[in-house]
A and B are shown apart, each in its own frame.
Chain A
């Protein structure tokens, strides 16, 4: 009996894992498309950009985020799990004191917030943070 149950459990987990993998949300593709539209498919580095966002958002309606990429001409923010992934693009002018910015965004659910920086030399940088968004217990 024990042997049969163990086998079922293993089979069950395997098929569950496959189903989960196959059913990746379409929003992630929209984000990838948007990123490719910026980079043209070029390689993306990871060292030159920092993205700060809370691990758990107190409320998905107002989530503080901050992004910084010294030497960037612009930074685009995406919420890969939102119905529309595009969030905002910071374009830095000649009088920008630094290539950084902070704002507050809406996240529909737990997801990755992604930042893509276009650098002055034409290269790209990427950072990503997973933010957990919960439905409040009683905040209503």
Chain B
């Protein structure tokens, strides 16, 4: 009996010894510029006091990759995005750059998206890009989460890097925000889990070998080590839903757009980190 107990105890101890819990205290600075990775949680989050960027939950090696714009392999796709924006495409003979001469003028945009437009529709950055392409360039829309879209949304998002997320959730946005909140707390899938079950109730703990973050979206599109490319946020939602064995909503669907608005609001005050580096 004593031998069996000793073996069991040793197994548990050695297992626990390799894990670190909660978020660490490391500070993110990119090429010398300090970027805040935490903020007081907004008032509408009753169960969370401080919001933390996903960067704080990653290993030190992964964190280091985001601290230098060369080590961050996402930037080779930002280069692709800049090329795409300079290329003429469509019946009007224009490129993005024909109208948007200075990409720096996009500063502040990512921090406010998604937002409700004058027609009362919730719009995401991908939709803004495709609207420009179809209505002003006479070009084919890009696949919502394809490599061209992630490259260009990364360029645009990068212009807001370091700026605090600040999405509107009242007035015309309120109904979309409430729908997003509903979706966040709804259990789905064969595993019967909601976003909140992991990312609100259990952030900081380990789910098997993954260190659970708060599921913030301030760094999207993000370069994931897992597939060595930029990943869009709806694509990530889709992956999460598949992980709980649920049928995912479509990228660009009303559900994912509402969820994106709600999630952005949960990150109010966090800095845009596009393009971030994550697992």
Contacts and interface: CB of A to CB of B under 8 A. Distances in A.
B242 A137 contact: no
Interface in A1-22: 2, 6, 9
Nearest to B208: A137
B208 A135 contact: yes
A65 to B, nearest CB: 10
Given A138-B208, A140-B240, A64 B61 contact: yes
Interface string B102-117: 0000000000000000
A59 interface: yes
A83 interface: no
Contacts of A2: 1
Contacts of A137: 206-210, 212
A136 B210 contact: yes
Grouping DSSP codes into helix (H, G, I), strand (E, B) and loop, the A interface class, with mixed when no group exceeds half, is loop
Contacts, number: 61
B207 A59 contact: no
B225 A135 contact: no
B207 A58 contact: no
Contacts of A139: 210, 226, 279
Grouping DSSP codes into helix (H, G, I), strand (E, B) and loop, the B interface class, with mixed when no group exceeds half, is mixed
B150 to A, nearest CB: 17
Contact of B228 (A9, A55, A62, A134): A62
Interface in B107-146: none
Interface string A25-44: 00000000000000000000
Contacts of B4: 9
Residue from B62, B209, B240 having most chain A Cβ neighbours under 10 A: B209
A134 B243 contact: no
28 contacts: A6-B3, A9-B3, A54-B59, A54-B61, A56-B59, A58-B59, A58-B61, A58-B62, A58-B225, A59-B62, A59-B224, A59-B279, A61-B227, A62-B225, A62-B226, A62-B228, A64-B61, A64-B64, A136-B208, A137-B206, A137-B210, A137-B212, A138-B198, A138-B210, A138-B240, A139-B279, A140-B242, A140-B243
Interface of A: 2, 6, 9, 54-56, 58-59, 61-62, 64, 132, 134-140
Given A64-B61, A137-B208, 19 more contacts: A9-B3, A54-B59, A55-B18, A58-B58, A58-B59, A58-B61, A58-B225, A59-B224, A59-B279, A62-B226, A62-B228, A64-B64, A64-B65, A132-B18, A135-B209, A137-B209, A139-B226, A140-B226, A140-B239
